[in-house]
Amino acid sequence: MPLCVYRVSSEGSVRNQGKLGYIVDGRVIDSAAAGGPERLANALELSAQDLKTALDGIKGADGVPLESVELLAPIDWQEIWAAGVTYLRSRDARMEESQEKSVYDRVYDADRPELFLKANIFRTSGPGQPVGIRGDSTWDVPEPECVLVINSAAEIVGYTVGNDVSSRSIEGENPLYLPQAKMFDKGAGLGPVIALAWEIDDPANLPITLVISRGGKVAFEGKTSTSQMHRTFDDLVGYLFRYQDFFHGVFLMTGTGIVPPNEFTLEDGDHVAITIDGIGTLENPVVRLA
């Protein structure tokens, strides 16, 4: 029974008119109307136990069929942060693309992880909405990542699917260009829903698949699992919350373990599907930003 952010018609803005929904047996319950948390931010201000209690209290309320709503990126006031080089495959790919190989090798083995600010709601695409590739980049990839949904008390209360769309040509030229390789309009994909932490049996063992289609044919397909991560989720959360608070909660992309071969780059019109077992599939078309 996951959480979602949704709208019931095409009226209103995709970015700020989303309601918090609780999906029970194929119905979407309007959390605010049913007496639950009004927005995602309010849900993430609660402890995990209080959120569970609040959702238990509304699960019998009336809802509308899931097919009748438009799912939006499941985010409101939170920042999206990201961890890098948490899988061996990511370390190897960065060392191949970069002129500064040792920074990736060193961070893979260091105690302190690589953490960077990735996006907010205004740069994030929900299910079915286009993700962007930069007009000034020549080598672009999707990065399929398990995303932690963390409350203000640093508890992991949910998981969603993320796409850390990245420019390999810009990051490869100089690691100091990382913010430009990572942050741009439509540069993050998120959704389709937030699976609640207490409903996921083994988050450290979730299969992740990526399928990129071009002209109706599969152009690349890859698989990994969160079991291949070189760090634990708790370790990443611990570092993220060092010396900073997230009053409305925060998202953390946990790094990619799937990187297409070096000759592959995303193109305008591609279709990206990322599946994490137990959470869902996030699908987005790709658009080259003008």
Query: In the complex, which residues of this chain contact Mg ion (CB under 5 A)?
Result: 143, 164, 256
Q: Is the dihedral of CA 7, 12, 18, 19 positive or negative?
A: negative
85 binds, among ligand DO4, Mg ion, none (CB under 5 to 8 A by kind): ligand DO4
Tokens of 193: 């829903």
Task: Judge whether 178 and 201 are in contact, CB under 8 Å.
Answer: no
Task: Judge whether 277 and 206 are in contact, CB under 8 Å.
Answer: yes
- Min dist CB 102 to ligand DO4, Å, is 13
- Number of amino acids touching ligand DO4 (CB under 6 A): 12
CA distance to 87, 142, 254, 285, per residue, from 220 (Å):
19, 11, 22, 15
Spell out the residues 6+ positions from residue 106 whose beta carbon is closer than 8 angstroms to its own.
Answer: none
Select the span of 22-30, 80-88, 125-133, 277-285 touching ligand DO4 (CB under 6 A). 80-88
CA 246-127-193 angle, 5° bins: 55
The residue number whose beta carbon is nearest to Mg ion equals 164
User: DSSP 3-state assignment of 87?
Assistant: coil
Query: One symbol per residue from 33 to 72: x for binding ligand DO4 (CB under 6 A), - otherwise; what is it?
Result: ----------------------------------------
- Min dist CB 6 to ligand DO4, Å, is 28
- The gap between the terminal CA atoms of the chain, to the nearest Å, is 39
Tokens of 39: 């927005």
82 counts as binding ligand DO4 under rule CB under 6 A: yes
Toward ligand DO4, which CB reaches closer, 82 or 119?
82
- Min dist CB 26 to ligand DO4, Å, is 34
Tell which residue, 106, 115, 109, has the closest CA to residue 83. Answer: 115
Toward ligand DO4, which CB reaches closer, 120 or 152?
120
114 binds, among ligand DO4, Mg ion, none (CB under 5 to 8 A by kind): ligand DO4
What one-character DSSP code corresponds to residue 275?
Answer: E
The DSSP bridge partners found for residue 209 are: 223, 275
Q: Determine which residue in the list 140, 164, 270, 283 makes contact with ligand DO4, applying CB under 6 A.
A: 164
Query: One symbol per residue from 234 to 273: x for binding ligand DO4 (CB under 6 A), - otherwise; what is it?
Result: ---------------------xx-----------------
> What residue ranges bind ligand DO4 (CB under 6 A)?
82, 84-86, 90, 94, 114, 143, 164, 178, 255-256
